[in-house]
Structure 1
């Protein structure tokens, strides 16, 4: 990170795309795109590999993280998917799920405001990515149950949210 800085606590900060690229590299995650204001890669989740994109809008001081769980919604399943989105988004504290109108692709998005100077810490980058992958992992089964298993949105969410007691 050529533009790295340290704060009073010793945390590393840098240009957001540099910090994210370094994090992908350190974790061994595939980094398939790196432009001045956008990068992307692939991260293995609990269920599937997720396409993760980061888009920087420096003029607004915003970094948007996008996670794609590779779910396309058929036209006939859109009403079910939108009902499930409403239920799922009630459970999400940061970010939200949506269906892109172009291609009907399920997407998780989270916009992070960057402080003056537009720097991002390694810890912030890690938290953004972990949060996105965790939320996609948490709700992926609900979308499967509703879209492919023909469960009602409420039943799909309930089935997906059952936590196993103990460990196998």
Structure 2
């Protein structure tokens, strides 16, 4: 990934939304700043292009990173999708997958607690985005297997993890 030297100097911290916007722009990813507290970018992954959003909660000094792989769950697949989400989340150390009740959209979510100054380093911004994309790429096939391949959640997760190990 490009390190965004043009916009923010190495070692310089910035407000979280500003830093993410600079990172997205430096990498040539389509970006949109919804407000002072929210920015989104279109980030290419191994399987699809993800919408990555950063939402800043200034009162808590928490930056929430959301990664949306554009997966919607049909009503008849919700039970299997919830079981798959639970199985996947057991595998994660940071962040978790969830299904928004409105629209039944799958997403990855991770919160970064920033220090009292509420600033984000370029390295931390890059790591947060790369980690979100890596987790979505790792489990994207499992969602495909359950939602369109009619595999059970256990079979789907096993197959996805075997495929991912084969690519490494």
Give the TM-score of the pair, scaled to structure 1.
0.91
Going from structure 1 to structure 2, the CA distance change for 1:20 and 1:165 (only over 3 Å counts) comes to: closer
Alignment partner, residue 121 of structure 2 = 121
Task: Name the Cα RMSD after superposition.
Answer: 1.9
Alignment partner, residue 106 of structure 1 = 106
Alignment partner, residue 140 of structure 2 = 140
Alignment partner, residue 14 of structure 1 = 14
Aligned-partner SS, 1:79: helix
Spell out structure 1 runs of 4+ moving beyond 2 A.
none
Alignment partner, residue 155 of structure 1 = 155
Provide structure 1 residue ranges, at least 5 long, that are not aligned to the other structure: none
Alignment partner, residue 31 of structure 1 = 31
Deviation per CA, 1:87-136: give whole Å up to 9, x if none. 00011111000000000000100011010110000000001000000000
- Say whether residues 1:49 and 2:35 are aligned partners: no
Aligned-partner SS, 2:166: coil
Aligned-partner SS, 1:164: helix
Distance 1:102 1:48 in 2: 22
Structure with higher Rg: it is: 1
Deviation per CA, 1:38-70: give whole Å up to 9, x if none. 010100100000011110000110000000000
| Aligned residues between the structures | 161
